[in-house]
């Protein structure tokens, strides 16, 4: 049977770092499922709402050639359930989360991939603000 890879993220103001991690995640298996954080979860995590709305962030991720399925990640506490429900064999996260998801090694392989250097939603927003566009 083919291997299912699962990953999670906000993917706000979608950029090349997001695309690269999804492509590398997809290359580890046969099917890529992506949990996109809800607007509410993002507010809880970061104290602000994303720039792009949940439905748009999901549509962007769902439209990528490397992505087979998307769902809304409603809570950080439900990762185990999401892994089980989607029958994931591999959990992929960026290395900004290294060690944080090791408890799921009882359910599937856990792989942390290096982030793409020099790009983040926060930096994009800061440079747009600084340029006063
Ligand atoms: N990422 C990357 N390179 C960057 C920026 C982000 O590889 N330059 C990766 C992150 O490591 C993450 C994914 O892209 O794996 C999504 O990033 P975010 O949208 O910032 O995700 P985050 O808000 O950290 O949400 O349950 C976990 C959370 O939902 C993760």
pLDDT for the residue numbered 133: 67
In this prediction, residue 132 has a pLDDT band, given cuts at 50, 70 and 90, of: confident
Number of structural domains, the chain?
A: 1
Give the residue numbers spanning the domain of 29.
4-131
3 catalytic, yes or no? Answer: no
pTM of the model: 0.96
The mean pLDDT value for 18-26 works out to 98
Residue 118's CATH number: 3.40.50.620
Phi, psi (rounded to 5 degrees) for 79: -55, -40
Predicted confidence (pLDDT) per residue in 63-108, tens digit: 999 999 999 999 999 999 999 999 999 999 999 999 999 999 999 9
Q: Which of 3, 44, 45, 105 is catalytic?
A: 45
Tell the residue nearest (CA) to atom 22 of ligand 1: 9
As given in the structure block, the two tokens for residue 71 are 């769902």
Give the nearest ligand 1 atom to 97 CA: 11
């Amino acid at each position: 049977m083919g291997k299912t890879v699962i990953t999670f993220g906000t993917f706000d103001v979608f950029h090349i770092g997001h695309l690269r991690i999804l492509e590398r995640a997809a290359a580890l298996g046969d099917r890529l499922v992506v949990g996109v954080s809800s607007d509410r979860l993002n507010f809880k995590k970061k104290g602000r709402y994303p720039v792009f709305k949940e439905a748009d962030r999901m549509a962007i991720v769902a439209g990528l050639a490397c992505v087979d399925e998307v769902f809304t990640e409603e809570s950080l506490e439900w990762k185990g359930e999401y892994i089980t429900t989607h029958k994931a064999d591999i959990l992929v996260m960026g290395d900004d989360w290294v060690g944080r998801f090791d408890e799921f090694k009882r359910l599937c392989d856990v792989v942390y991939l290096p982030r793409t250097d020099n790009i983040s939603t926060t930096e994009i927003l800061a440079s747009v603000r600084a340029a006063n566009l």
